[in-house]
Structure 1
Amino acid sequence: MPRFPRILVTTVLSLVAGFDVQAATQQGSNAVVEEFFWYGCPHCGRLEPKLDTMLAARGGTVRVVRVPVARTMISRAHQRMYFALKQLGAEQRVHVAIREAITSGNTLLLTESAQATFLSARGVDPAAYRAAYESADVSHACEVADSEASAHGITAIPALVIRAQVVDPATVVSQARAKGKDLTGEDEVLGAMVSNVSAQLSDVQ
C-alpha cells in the first residue's frame, strides 16, 4: 500500500480523530508520539497508563496520536469503531470500557449493530454512531491508519513511533540484551518502551 503524504495523514487524523495537530506539531513531528494499538490487545491496555503518566509529566508539550491497527476482520471492525467514536467526540470516555469488555471476553463487538447497542448503554446515540461508522471520512481515516502502520513496518503491538523510530517489545528487549540485561516480565518491557520514548523526547521543552 502506498504511503499517504504526511500532510494528508495529519489532516485526516485531525478531521476524523479530533486531534489538534497544529498544536501538537508546533515543535515539529518530534512532539508527537504515535501509539499503534488494538482494543483487544491486553498488553496495549497495560501500556497506556504508563505512557499517559509520562506524557502528563511533560505538561502537554508532547501529544499522542492513537492509531488502531487492523490485521483481521475483527480488528478492522474495531478500527472503524475507534474512528467513528472519534468523529463523534466520544472515544475517550468509552475507551477503557470497550477495551475491558473485549479483553475480558464479555463481548467481541464484531458488528456495527453490536457496537451501537453496547455504546448506546454508555450514552452514545446509536443513529449518530451508525452514520459515523458508515461515513467516507471514517473509511479514509482507516486507509491512512493502515498506511501509517505499513510505512513504519508495524508487525507487533503495542508499538510506539517517535521521530520515525519504532519502539516495540522486541526493540527494547534487544537493546537491553545488548547491554547485558534481560528484561523479565511484561511490566518491565512496557516500562522500558516508555522510558525509551521519554529519552528521545529529552530535548522537547
Structure 2
Amino acid sequence: MTKGKRWLWIAVAFLSLAWLVEAPAAEYREGVDYERVEPPLPTTSGDKVEVMELFWYGCPHCYDFDPYVKRWLMRKPADVEFIHVPAVFNKLWELHAQAFYTAKALGISGKMHDALFDAIHQGGRRFPTPASLQLLFAEYGVSKEDFFKAFDSFAVKSQVKRAIQMTKNSGIDGVPAMIVNGKYRVGASNARSYAEMLKVVDYLVGKEKSAAGAKK
C-alpha cells in the first residue's frame, strides 16, 4: 500500500468513526416498540414525568424484571416520578393488590414488596387467602390486629378499586408493563429484553420532556 492510499484509508476510517459517534440513536416506533394509551390515564405527579409499572406478585416475569427496575431507579432523574400499581385481572390478583396497599398503609412497603416476591417465587407460597398473607406479615413484625385493621380499611380498599380501574383503562393484556406519563404503554411483548423495555421507557421520558419544554 502506498503512502497516499494509507492516508486515504485513515481519513475514511476517521470519518466513519465520527459519523458513528455523532449519529443520533434510532427512534423507537409507536405500534412496534410501544403503544399509545387511548384515552390517556390521569397522572398525579405534577410537573414531573410519571412512570408507572403494572405488575403482579405471582408473575415470574415481574419477579425477573424487578431487579432491572431497581437498577433503573438508582439512575432515574429527579424530575421523573415512579409509581408501582398492582394489576388486577382476577380475585387472586385483587387479593395480592390488597396486600400491596396494606404494606404501604403500614409503612413497610419496601421490605414487604421483596418479601412477597421471594415467598412466592423462592418459597413456593401462593397466598390465596387473607389469613395466609397475615402470616407472612407476622414474620415481619406486624400483629394480626394491625394487619387486618389496614387490610380491611376503606383507604386500602379504595386504592384496590383504583388499581382495578387503572388496569382496565391502561389497555394492558399482561405484566410487567410500563406506562409513561399516562400516554404510552411498554410491555414485554414490545421489547426484546427487560433492559430494552427500560430503554424504550427512557426514550419516551425524553419525548415527554421535549414536548413539555416546547410548550414553555
TM-score calculated relative to the size of structure 1? 0.75
Instruction: Give me the whole-angstrom Cα distance separating, in 2, the residues matched to 1:85 and 1:156.
Output: 24
SS at 1:196 equivalent: helix
Deviations 1:120-174 (A, max 9, x none): 11122321111111111111111111111111101110000003100001222xx
SS at 2:69 equivalent: helix
Q: Which runs of 5+ in 1 are unaligned?
A: 11-24, 173-182, 184-188
Residue 197 of structure 1, aligned match among 184, 189, 201: 201
Task: Give the equivalent residue in structure 1 for 2:189.
Answer: 170
Task: Give the equivalent residue in structure 1 for 2:159.
Answer: 141
Deviations 1:28-70 (A, max 9, x none): 4xx2111000011121122122122223213433221111112
Instruction: Give me the whole-angstrom Cα distance separating, in 2, the residues matched to 1:35 and 1:85.
Output: 17
Residue 44 of structure 1, aligned match among 52, 62, 66: 62
Q: Taking every aligned residue pair, what percent have the same amino acid on both sides?
A: 23
Letter in 1 for 2:113: H
Task: Give the equivalent residue in structure 2 for 1:13.
Answer: none
1:89 aligns with 2:93: no
- Judged with a 3 Å threshold, the aligned counterparts in structure 2 of structure 1 residues 52 and 104 are, in CA distance, closer, same or farther, namely closer
Instruction: Give me the whole-angstrom Cα distance separating, in 1, the residues matched to 2:76 and 2:109.
Output: 23
Bigger radius of gyration, 1 or 2? Answer: 2
Q: Do the aligned partners of 1:33 and 1:63 also contact (CA within 8 Å) in 2? A: yes
1:108-187 superposed matches below 5 A: 108-163=126-181, 164-172=183-191, 183=192
The aligned length equals: 169
Letter in 1 for 2:172: I
Instruction: Give me the whole-angstrom Cα distance separating, in 2, the residues matched to 1:159 and 1:46.
Output: 13
Task: Give the equivalent residue in structure 1 for 2:18.
Answer: none
Q: Where has structure 1 moved over 4 Å in runs of 4 or more?
A: none
Q: CA RMSD in A?
A: 2.1
TM-score calculated relative to the size of structure 2? 0.71
